Chain A
Amino acid sequence: MYKNICKNFEPKRDNLLLILHEIQDSHPQQYITKNAMKYVAEYLKISIAQVKGVISFYTMFSTTPRGKYLIRVCNSTACFIKGSDNVLEILNNILDLEKESITEDNLFSLETCSCLGVCGNAPVMMINKEVYGNLNEKKIKKIISDLKRGNK
């Protein structure tokens, strides 16, 4: 699997981030496994430590499993003013998350992120590649239950 992804890129170090994104996106749990790191390091002829170093620097990458739906809530200034804390609390409640940031059924995980560039619609969240704006409790509930229903 990693092989097919790497093949699309020239084995040059400056392709590292692009390769890591593709590998992460191709995993159903949106993270980068140890095996993947090893394969990428070999492919680019750099050390595993160098690959790990890059992964740990960038917040979009994860080395632990995430949900099928990765929820990123913006908590930058414009969203903060419009109640991003509230959005987080609502999501924590609906998804029944306490300590862990991933639901038991591995369907959802919750993270915060900085400005998503849709500040005019604050507060905003992103689920996988989709952006949802002007959030309120009713809207959040509907979005989550629609996703749940789609998975039955």
Chain B
Amino acid sequence: MRQNSKAFNRHGIITLKNVGKINPESIEDFIAHDGYIAFEKALFDMNEDEVIDEVKDSGLRGRGGAGFPTGLKWSFTAPLKVKDKFIICNADEGEPGTCKDRLIMEGDPHKLIEGILIAGYAVRANKGYIYIRGEYYLSIERLGKAIKDAYKHGYLGQKILETNFSFDLEIKVGGGAYVCGEETSLIESLEGKRGLPRFKPPFPGIAGLWQKPSVVNNVETLCNIPDIISKGGEWFRSFGTKKSTGTKIFMILGNVKNPGIIELPQGVTLRELIYEHGGGMEDDKELKCTLVGGAAGCFVGPDLLDIPMTIESLSEHGAALGSGSILVLKEGTNLIALMKNLMHFFKHESCGQCTPCRYGTEKLYRLICKISDDIARNKPDVNDLNEMLETAKMMQKTSLCALGQSPLMPLESAMKYCVIDEFKKRVIK
């Protein structure tokens, strides 16, 4: 089965507009759907700073998880006078329950190339890399063909469209390591090494790939750029909320009737996502809670069904949006078992470079196993849960990269919602 993008896609406004509608293997089809006109507009009608100002005006924030303002990120790299500067597209998409970038790359690869070209022009970069997960064979194949075709049509290479702008683009492939989604780890991996995260600062925008200034952006982030340039930042701001502009791709997964991917204006509530777009709960069961943002995400319960799913409103409630993955869990789900799955994930994916995370992820897994397996023998008590929490807090304060800082969020939020009750039910008879 070739993964059919169409089956998932129901709407598309900006980033998913073409997905399922155009032939992803045909540059002609992309061009016929207004492809590359935004890049030409930037190249011929705007100077570099105007492009950055437009992106700043749009309010676009990174879609890779951290939500950093994109225009601002570019403005650190643009003024640096160095011979080599890079645009790196983060297509490592390893966050469990996240599949939006794959859908774009398989369904509309030229949109990504156009976004990268505009970014390259704006920060005066001369080369781009797309770092794709090794498991995404079809994405690699489609983007490979798209890049070839873009060279043939003069959108990549030397003196693009007879201007003074030259830009090369290459694909690099990962090897199956979640931590390589972290931008400095990704850069190490691009250099052909083990993906050990670097200490920040310096940030990649100043000293990244081979210590040269490198802008790292997520696939979805870059795919917003063409429309921002062709239709303007103000148009983009007409979608979404004041602080979270534009659209976001959500993945509605787990115990819903119609799991899938959907692009919506920012500001929708969890209730709308589950009951309207996800078709409601599977078997009409009650909702227990959701895991928002993948493994490094956060449990969000029914009490927050009616708040907007934006970075700012979730953070008011101590939660985060992350990649936009929403795993819906019905009443009766064994959260302790899910927690064990998450802790195993962190233990497995820790790069082992720094002690708090290497040791901490082991310890968290050991404790959750004690709690979840063979209760009669292990005799876990509430102290075990507290120790997990303390360990995760220590990791959050002292780990080198965000991976080691992540387990606290799911752990703390799960305890807030239901794990404690579930635990007591199981242990204290």
- Give chain A's interface residues, CB within 8 Å of chain B: 12-18, 20-21, 44, 53-54, 57-61, 72, 75-78, 80-82, 113-122, 126, 129-133
Contacts and interface: CB of A to CB of B under 8 A. Distances in A.
Contacts, number: 141
B345 A76 contact: yes
Interface string B74-103: 000000000000000000011111110110
B97 A77 contact: yes
Contacts of B134: 17, 21, 58, 60
Given A58-B174, A78-B259, A117-B136, 20 more contacts: A17-B189, A21-B173, A21-B175, A57-B195, A58-B175, A59-B176, A72-B135, A76-B97, A76-B295, A78-B254, A81-B333, A114-B176, A114-B178, A114-B345, A114-B348, A117-B93, A118-B3, A119-B251, A119-B325, A130-B2
A14 B174 CA distance: 11
Contacts of A120: 7-8, 99, 251, 253, 259-261
Contacts of B2: 130-131
A122 B379 CA distance: 34
B175 A20 contact: yes
Interface string B1-26: 11100011000000000000000000
Select the residue from A53, A113, A115, A116 with max chain B CB neighbours within 10 A.
A115
B140 to A, nearest CB: 10
B95 A115 contact: yes
Contacts of A81: 253-255, 327, 329, 333, 338
Contacts of A15: 192
A61 B189 CA distance: 14
B295 A59 contact: no
Determine the main DSSP class of B at the interface with A.
loop
Contact of B177 (A18, A59, A72, A82): A59
B175 A17 contact: yes
A13 B191 contact: yes
Interface residues of B, number: 54
Nearest to A133: B1
B172 interface: yes
Contacts of B94: 114-115
Select the residue from B99, B172, B291 with max chain A CB neighbours within 10 A.
B99
B112 interface: no
A17 B192 contact: yes
A80 B327 CA distance: 11
Nearest to B255: A81
Contact of B192 (A14, A80, A118, A129): A14
A117 B173 contact: no
The 5 closest A-B pairs by CB, nearest first: A58-B175, A76-B96, A16-B192, A60-B176, A117-B99
B97 A78 contact: yes
A138 to B, nearest CB: 15
Interface in B176-206: 176-178, 189-195
B172 A14 contact: yes
B218 to A, nearest CB: 14
Contacts of A60: 134-135, 174-176
A54 to B, nearest CB: 6
Contacts of B275: none
Contacts of A130: 1-2
Interface string B245-275: 0000001011100011100000000000000
B227 interface: no
Nearest to A143: B1
Given A77-B327, A78-B96, A120-B99, A18 B193 contact: no
